Amino acid sequence: MNQLILQQGASKELVHFPHILEFAHKKNNTIQLNSFSSNVTDCICLYYILEGKFTWIIDLQEHTLYPGDFAMVLPGQRIGGQSSILNIGALFWIKIATEDSGKLLLGKWSGLTKKEKISVNQILLVNKEQHVLKLKEAHLLLHNLQAELQNEEVGFYTRANQLLDELFILISRQLIRQNNSRRDFPQTFLKLEQTLRQNLAHQWTVEEMATLIGMGTTAFTEKVKNYSGFSPLNYLINIRIAEATKLLKRNEANVTDIALNTGFYSSQHFSTTFKKLTGYTPTEFRKNKTPDQ
């Protein structure tokens, strides 16, 4: 994966694009502690999830994002990782400056007509509480934008801004289609995760999990893979680790008890799995964790 983080004022690739404050294509192989603190944005922040599962707090609401999910945060809104953590996975993000103190979201760089700019502006502002969209088409646009910024071939300035226009058109159309509805994630899977969390000490099998929502194991496995990016057992392990990180913040909780309560066979099994997925042993994580606010 060709990773990069471009920042205005520090990256030559953005010299011709003062409206692009930051562009990134990043993959995390371990949990990044204290790397995504909550803050109020002064620009448009757009995120697209490529791999993994990310839990973010956007305007005081918790959102869990999976591959194909797209998050939009407008000026004046707050975003940050749960406990300031940036989870394991891969994502694109881009931060775009606005004009007229944030009232005009698409600036002079845009090739849209004045009428189209006004329409997109209104759609984004009216639907500003819809932070998460299912927008798989954004992947190719962001991939191509990265190529234009890096390669600087003939016409790159025009093409890069066209891709941004296409992205905002795509976002606007999807917002209209969703029409203030919930994101496309089956209620059955939300209930499944709640059920698993209530009894993580149980050694769940794929067959048992499939039975909980009335599906065969093959269809269930495919559904979980499509929605979460993980196999059912890895999906379950991620839930176990997520719950364990919460318990580790309580200094009075014994590591062995946490291991058994979250479904691991032993403290050694827990420690090995935890380090593999987070890059830290449970003890190291406890020492380096961000205190709850």
Q: What is the pLDDT of residues 74-90, one digit of tens each?
A: 999 999 998 888 889 99
Average the pLDDT over 242-252 and give the result: 83
Average the pLDDT over 210-237 and give the result: 84
pLDDT for residue 289: 64
Question: Domain map of the chain by residue range?
Answer: 4-179, 183-293
pLDDT for residue 247: 87
Distance CA 106, CA 129 (A): 19
Q: What is the pLDDT of residues 161-197, one digit of tens each?
A: 999 999 999 999 888 777 534 444 467 777 788 888 8
Its pTM stands at: 0.67
Q: What is the pLDDT of residues 31-63, one digit of tens each?
A: 888 889 999 999 999 999 999 999 999 998 999
Taking phi first (over 0 means left), then psi (-120 to 50 degrees means alpha), and beta for anything else, what does residue 9 get?
A: left
**Is domain 183-293 classified as CATH 1.10.10.60?**
yes
Provide the pLDDT confidence category of residue 2 given band limits of 50, 70 and 90. Answer: low
Q: What is the pLDDT of residues 6-21, one digit of tens each?
A: 999 999 999 999 999 9
**Is domain 4-179 classified as CATH 2.60.120.10?**
yes
Q: What is the mean pLDDT of the chain?
A: 88
What is the percentage of the chain residues whose pLDDT exceeds 90?
50
